[in-house]
Structure 1
């Protein structure tokens, strides 16, 4: 989240604190210290500002657990082997997507996880006990996946769910800790954020270098054994109380009041609905049933969030939620297409584990940075509708390159599969980064002051949920087109219509662009979004809660405060 920079001389601004007055001097000293000492000075400044406990916590959870073990989210040592594990059970392409979305659902229910830890303290603690429980469960799950090769499919999916729950919840709790200290020492904020995301990036790169070779030489489950020490080390966070959390006397539900009550209601209902869909996906039901449940959840989540948030935020959320759903993921079919051996798909690319996981992952990482440089250099001054139109249309055009390899036209053009895959992936990651960065910037700018963390978690969770639901609908499209490979022998015919599915998946995200000027504020990326006073003011749910007496009318409070100010002015005039 970005705060507007203050301009001018602080000494002439009323209401400035002494800490604000010393910011410039602090920044100068910080720059001088870092220039003298380099990397060692960088760490020394952070240690002096935040203490070694916070830095150790960030290293263990963000660099180690989220970066190295999870590859920044759904990849790394615990995410990249999932398709290969499911392939051992001959899971169809559509079900691979659904199972992957189900086990990674903790990233979509982070608002619910945050609500639980905030509203239900354990023995007076909001973070440390939850950290201990989820990390212990995730550690045991990693060990069981690595050591027991005769697990049933259902048991494997449950264990994978707990592994991702460990990463997502610990990430949320860590974000809550360092967001507090950032508010206390904002002058060191950029350095701390650089430390966090630099650690995640380094961990992700190490995982990409290792995971392909590990799976090739030691089996698909060994990477979970390597991830286990990172999970064990993360137990130091609660055991040593690295967050330095003190016992609270607040009762359960004490924080569920005021303007955050509508957000809590939305987080609870959508989180429970998403969790229910994941359980349905894991424990059974036909694919049609799962897709129907996903459609119901999409309507419920979009309708509820639109009723709970202020109109400007609700419109923006609707645009990105619908766009992510229209992505219609086909990753399960792509996996089989690229990795099937000669006995299954004689005409296929037959990419090795090292190439499919490590090589493509490294190229994606590098060229995402290229896209970031291009965006920062030339596209920061574009308005939001213009950059979203340009970025998404360009992304769709570049994604259509996949149709060439799926129809095998690249071979007819004399382009080797490995060269074509790396080249197209590089181009796609550049333009996807250009389309993604303004999205995250807009989400950050639409988080009103005072509830930034809650709103960002809710909007990011809705974005993740939309992408997961898009995988469900994409799985159904694969069924309709007869694209259902399972890794069995002689399944070449299963890929005949994959290029059609790729066209639908590529063009789908452009559908909501027809409403971009109605749903996205037409302002520059460096401008303030107007009309953003509160996260829920003016929403139907907010008005209903005010009518029932469960909330105070924010607009009335502002009017009373203004009248008091005017009243004081009138009194002073009378005195004169």
Structure 2
């Protein structure tokens, strides 16, 4: 009896700790850091990138399809424009660092991001019969709002990590948890809101995050700087020096070869998402998934992405870059074959229902995509020399975002050339086949990736020595991206 009681007490303590430990952890972060910074992470990462980002993806697809009634190839082209504000992340970072407003580096840019996003989302939701070009500009406004807020909160996180270095991993964990949980909730809720409110009215929910970003701009803690005119000249000199250092660094083969691989691997991965989405929801040619189930599919994909991160963290961190990226790309190509089989409806031939098979296909795609993406992110950080790690990392992320944009536009061109329309999906299987063949062809480019392990130094010693000898003013340059993203 005593042993049973002890076991029950241990179980109760374990369950109780699952509730109390996160609360204690958040309380510790709020105590050692400014609580407004923790609140900012919840607003920008959780509500902004997580919830609003996932809601944006699903609701925008239905908006272009059911309200604007555009062809999938046209929508694919429009979606590519969403990435333009993220291509400009280095510019947003330089603006927040080098050009304060009334002595504040962060507050004005939170306010600007919130204002742009609130106006853009409200216009989309309230304006009837909005022209397609005007709607695209509003979507660009929402994307720009997320990008500017992302860069600004990253600068705040960087400052907190410098001041309290022991909490840097905790801040990253908080960012990842907020983003992942927000995305899961956003995907689950998106189908419900589209069904109940309609795609256009549901876009009004995108105004919630930027509205709270405006509030964040008023309450976030920030010291006011003085002597801006003297500082501005110094900052511009530092920016010029760093641009020259980045150019010299990118010219090393150890840097440009893996950078070229990452760009080509992303750019050649042509996306046919919009054609696939139209086929998903078509009542005649496709499986005719409901709005709620489409949200559930993406939510399952979000969980699969988290599982991919866990697999990489627990199993794959010790493998060499070239071997890991080769097998990850191979698995990614194989996961695309499942998509092709689904379009051909061969799953029904072997007796697997559409609702079950799409879960398998989405999970496989998201897991292998994350296994492919994580080592690229680690490789990017290893390519950054000390002294210019912030600006160089921002440049690499800009290159990667350009590759993603080209993949969207390339997929739109492919859908157009194969005459895949709102109602004609005859050649969708061919588009998927071409996409999968390109995925396998990317394996031939893996020779550009170094054979070194993920903990080994990639850069020549003279590169790091040169940049660390340059003096950097921490107070004026805070562009150290703690958390790299394209994912929109």
Corresponding residue for 2:121?
142
Kindly indicate whether residue 40 of structure 2 is the aligned counterpart of residue 103 of structure 1: no
State the aligned residue count.
Answer: 452
Shift of 1:515: 3.3
Match of 2:101 among 91, 113, 122: 122
More divergent stretch after superposition (331-340 vs 108-117): 108-117
- Matched residue, 2:435: 505
* Matched ranges for 1:138-217 at <5 A: 138-217=117-196
Distance 1:227 1:472, change over 3 A: closer
**1:306, 1:495 → 2: CA distance?**
49
8 Å CA contact retained: 1:338, 1:351: yes
Query: Within 2, Cα distance between the matches of 1:411 and 1:332?
Result: 23
What residue number does 2:69 align with? 90
Aligned to 2:484: none
Pairwise CA RMSD = 2.7
- Which one has the largest radius of gyration? 1
Query: 1:251: Cα distance to partner?
Result: 5.0
1: CA distance between counterparts of 2:439 and 2:454? 21
When residues 307 and 471 of structure 1 are mapped into structure 2, their CA distance, relative to the original with a 3 A threshold, is: farther
Q: Tell me whether 1:382 sits opposite 2:365 in the alignment.
A: no
* Alignment partner of 1:48 out of 31, 55, 64: 31
Match of 2:354 in 1: 417
1:79 alignment partner in structure 2: 57
Shift of 1:103: 2.7
Other-structure match for 1:408: 345
Post-superposition offset of 1:259: 7.6
Higher relative contact order (CA 8 A, sep 6+): 2
Which residue does 1:523 correspond to in 2?
A: 452
CA–CA separation in structure 1 for the residues paired with 2:330 and 2:339: 15
Q: 1:177 to 1:419 in 2, by over 3 A?
A: same
State the 1:245 CA deviation. Answer: 4.7
TM-score, normalising length: structure 2: 0.86
Residues in 2 aligned to 1:188 and 1:112: alpha-carbon distance in whole angstroms: 28
* Shift, 1:156, TM fit: 0.7
Task: Single out whichever of 331-340 and 123-132 deviates more from structure 2.
Answer: 123-132
Q: CA deviation at 1:130?
A: 2.3
Stretch of structure 1 that moved more, 198-207 or 168-177: 198-207
Find out whether 1:324 has 2:266 as its counterpart: yes
Quote the residue 2:237 is aligned against.
257
Name the CA distance, whole Å, in 1 between partners of 2:347 and 2:33: 54
CA distance in 2, matches of 1:238, 1:173: 10
Using the TM superposition, give the Cα deviation of residue 427 of structure 1 relative to its aligned residue in structure 2, in angstroms: 1.8
Q: Structure 1 residues 37, 350: closer, same or farther in 2, change over 3 A? A: closer
Equivalent positions of 1:176-575 (< 5 A) are 176-247=155-226, 249=228, 250=230, 252=232, 254-258=234-238, 261=241, 263=243, 308-340=250-282, 342=283, 346-356=284-294, 358-483=295-420, 485-486=421-422, 491=423, 494-517=424-447, 519-531=448-460, 533-534=462-463, 554=466
2:4 aligned residue = none
The SS at the match of 1:363 is helix
Alignment CA distance shift 1:440-1:307 (3 Å)? closer
Which string of whole-angstrom CA distances, capped at 9 and with x for unpartnered residues, describes residues 470-523 of structure 1? 11112222222222x13xxxx3xx212211211221232343432323x22211
| Structure 1 equivalent of residue 52 of structure 2 | 69
Cα deviation, 1:200-238, whole Å, max 9, x if unaligned, reads 222222212211101001111233322323321211222
1:428-468 deviations in Å (ceiling 9; x for gaps): 22222222211111112222222222222221221121011
Instruction: Point out where structure 1 has 5 or more consecutive residues left out of the alignment.
Output: 1-33, 71-75, 267-304, 538-553, 559-576
